[in-house]
Structure 1
Amino acid sequence: MTDEMRTSTRDLGELQDRVCTWLRGRIAGPVTVSELSRPSGNGMSSETLFFTANSQRCVARMAPAAEAVPVFPAYDLRAQFEIMRLARERAGIPAPRALWFEPDPEPLGTPFFVMEREDGEVPPDVMPYTMGGWLAEAAPGDRRRLQEATVAIVAALHDAPFAEPDLDVLGGRGLRAHVDAQRAYYAWAHADRPIPLLERAFDWLEAHWPADPGPDVLSWGDARIGNVMYRDFTPVAVLDWEMAAVGPRELDLGWMIFLHRFFQDIAVVFELPGLPGFMRREDVCRTYRELTGYEPRDMDFYETYAALRHGIIMARVWQRRIHFGEQPRPDDPDDLVMHRAALEELITG
């Protein structure tokens, strides 16, 4: 977790020229593109660019080049663009304002979309926010305010009055479709070297399947504080919609709770206190219940499922690092799962 992970193989100078050429077909009058850069810190799947077009501060999200060993098999940028726009317009979620979607790969070498850039602070993944920094050093009341405001984002999204056609862009519905899609993703990501721990986790899910998975809602998919930008501990931008889906409410709640546990465990490994009182299951679920009137259920299942999903993703990320010579391949494939001990604990009770 200490080194910056490679997310792109594209040249920034060439990209700036191509962005400028593309924008001339969309902005009236002269166009100047400046300050084009890549962010550091969060984000390991799609490629992100910052730039200023005349006076408009922008963020572009691009599907990664094939030679960058993508984390996911496909990047439906149109779906991300549309869901982000709907979340802002229908649910009042502070998603960045969607500006343009470009399906043609010719201008930049891949499809992409552009959104408005916000200012604020994001709890970092590297080094994890549990190991220091503005959130770890905040007053307990401010951290609680941030936690409750973040749960409120998920509550508002789940309760938003989306029409059925709005969500057609996301495909399948329900928990079974979601888990089947994760199995397919696992097979794509790790077919060359299966990971026994993840396969045991899939078996655990089948043996502990919820009797009633509950109603389907729009699920953010990557619901965690590392995908939110804050000012004064208040969310101002909700980011990263590429894992959005339609499924039970608990998908987002389990992910939010487990992802904090993941970063908390890293702090503990380094003998740091971390934030043990932050994003606890009972607190997250209580706030959600107070906001929505819905009682989250089967949370053991959904937290274990979150750990499995995160394990598939992170094992793929580590394979990318191995491909680029950034770390050696472990002898035991289960060691590709960074949170191996946590997942083993969850599936053994």
Structure 2
Amino acid sequence: MPVLLRRDPDLTRAVIARWLAERFPEEGTPVVGPISTPAHTGFSGEILLCDAEWDHRGPRRVRPLAIRVAPTAHRLFPGDDWEHHTRLQALLAGTDVPVAKILGTEPTGELLGVPFAVMERIPGQVPSDLPSYHHSGWLARLPASAQAEVWNGGLELMAKVHRLDPDTVDLSFLDKTSREPAGIGRQLEEYAAHLTFYGAQDSPVVTRALHWLRSHRPPEPDAPRLLWGDARLANIICAGQTPVALLDWEMATLGAPENDLAWYLYTDRFMSEGRGLPRLAGLPGRQETVSRYGSLLGRAMRHLPYYEVFAAFRFCLIASRLTRLMAGTGIQRPDNESPYARSTALLDRLLGETDACVRQGGTTVT
């Protein structure tokens, strides 16, 4: 669900035009077109879409732009890591991980009242959050083979993230000072420390999940890798049926690749089963996906059921926060659905399934 445009559009256009003129003086004075927001995705931060046009020096030139505004009122996460995320995206632009190029940032907040980053807007389409891509939209209209291509192409792009060599890409700014080393232990306790912020401190299901996660924490024998964090279909830009770029790095951290794969699987499950919808017939199933991803990384996936419970736990906290933000801003979902109620029910269901799996010794998926 997108954050609604609550800024004066004419003032915003003037600010962006001024910033562009100062940033790219050799281009001359730009004309900035109408401001809009993404139609079907994005609540973690404010995204502004516009076109900038220069035409007085040579041929007419139009540059599609996306402006990511640092979160203020619509803050899904307790930390203020906006600068880290923009820095990461700029760093990734120099690798084979496909991301939108950042043209520049305004970190002071003097122009729009909050910091912002201006990026090139990559042409393409993104699977919809609302309505779910399992229900309708361009992905649902594709033949089954093309749906599988979108799903598997997303895995291939995600593997590029996990294959980045930590010895050649300096990600130290993501490694926050903590008593815990980077990995699942640190991530779990960071979420646990902010249950009140998310508004889930009184949920019996959340409490049970946290106890389970602490009791079954697996070893992570490999050096931590960069994690995309919000690894899901709705954060992938596709050209036709081919994934071409990854969006949204607000949840980026360091850890085991299983973390991202579990989120990829769980968020898709929530978008279908969690919303009472049949899953798209062309999307590969869990076992096929896990096997394929193991091939992409060159090793079997370890303890994946654990990471799926962790994904469901995190999703439930974020859904709780999202539900509160929606209520506080008067935003109503078209289907009157409570993301928190549905995510709590699915977390409860997954805990039962995983408990049974653990009892049978099935914590490792190969």
Displacement, 1:137?
Answer: 2.3
Query: Counterpart of 1:43 in structure 2: which amino acid?
Result: G
Query: Counterpart of 1:63 in structure 2: which amino acid?
Result: A
**For residues 239 and 20 of structure 1, do their structure 2 counterparts lie closer, same or farther at Cα, with a shift above 3 Å needed?**
same
Distance 1:215 1:130 in 2: 36
**For residues 178 and 279 of structure 1, do their structure 2 counterparts lie closer, same or farther at Cα, with a shift above 3 Å needed?**
farther
What residue number does 2:81 align with? 76
Distance 1:276 1:214 in 2: 35
Distance 2:195 2:4 in 1: 20
What residue number does 2:71 align with? 64
TM-score scaled to structure 2, two decimals? 0.85
Q: 1:252 aligns with which of 253, 260, 263?
A: 260
User: Matches of residues 291-330 of structure 1 in structure 2 within 5 Å?
Assistant: 291-326=296-331
C-alpha contact (below 8 Å) 1:8/1:64 kept by paired residues: no
User: Matches of residues 1-349 of structure 1 in structure 2 within 5 Å?
Assistant: 6-28=3-25, 29-54=28-53, 55-65=62-72, 68-90=73-95, 92-163=96-167, 166-172=170-176, 173-190=182-199, 194-212=202-220, 214-266=222-274, 269=276, 272-275=277-280, 278-326=283-331, 336-349=340-353
Distance 1:11 1:70 in 2: 20
Displacement, 1:53?
Answer: 2.3
Distance 1:307 1:212 in 2: 20
Query: Counterpart of 1:30 in structure 2: which amino acid?
Result: T
1:212-237 C-alpha deviation (Å, 9 max, x unpaired): 46431000000111000101211122
1:150-174 C-alpha deviation (Å, 9 max, x unpaired): 1111111111123377212212421
Distance 1:335 1:160 in 2: 34
Query: Counterpart of 1:219 in structure 2: which amino acid?
Result: L
Displacement, 1:141?
Answer: 1.4
1:303-334 C-alpha deviation (Å, 9 max, x unpaired): 11101111111111100122124469xxxxx9
Gapped runs of 5+ residues in structure 2? 54-61, 177-181, 354-366
TM-score scaled to structure 1, two decimals? 0.89
Distance 1:8 1:35 in 2: 12
Displacement, 1:77?
Answer: 2.5
Gapped runs of 5+ residues in structure 1? 329-333
Distance 2:135 2:301 in 1: 30
**For residues 249 and 104 of structure 1, do their structure 2 counterparts lie closer, same or farther at Cα, with a shift above 3 Å needed?**
same
- SS of structure 1 residue aligned to 2:326: helix
Distance 2:45 2:2 in 1: 12
Distance 1:185 1:86 in 2: 29
Residue range with higher mean Cα deviation, 225-234 or 280-289: 280-289
Distance 2:266 2:282 in 1: 13
Query: Counterpart of 1:174 in structure 2: which amino acid?
Result: G
- SS of structure 2 residue aligned to 1:257: helix
Distance 1:104 1:326 in 2: 29
Distance 1:335 1:61 in 2: 24
Distance 2:332 2:50 in 1: 32
Displacement, 1:132?
Answer: 2.0
Displacement, 1:5?
Answer: 5.8
**For residues 309 and 56 of structure 1, do their structure 2 counterparts lie closer, same or farther at Cα, with a shift above 3 Å needed?**
same
Distance 1:301 1:164 in 2: 30
1:249-305 C-alpha deviation (Å, 9 max, x unpaired): 1110000000100011145x2xx5332662522122111111221211111111111
- SS of structure 1 residue aligned to 2:185: helix
Distance 2:165 2:39 in 1: 36
Displacement, 1:183?
Answer: 1.6
* Larger relative contact order, structure 1 or 2 (CA cutoff 8 Å, min sep 6): 1
Residue range with higher mean Cα deviation, 178-187 or 227-236: 178-187
Distance 2:155 2:263 in 1: 12
Displacement, 1:144?
Answer: 1.5
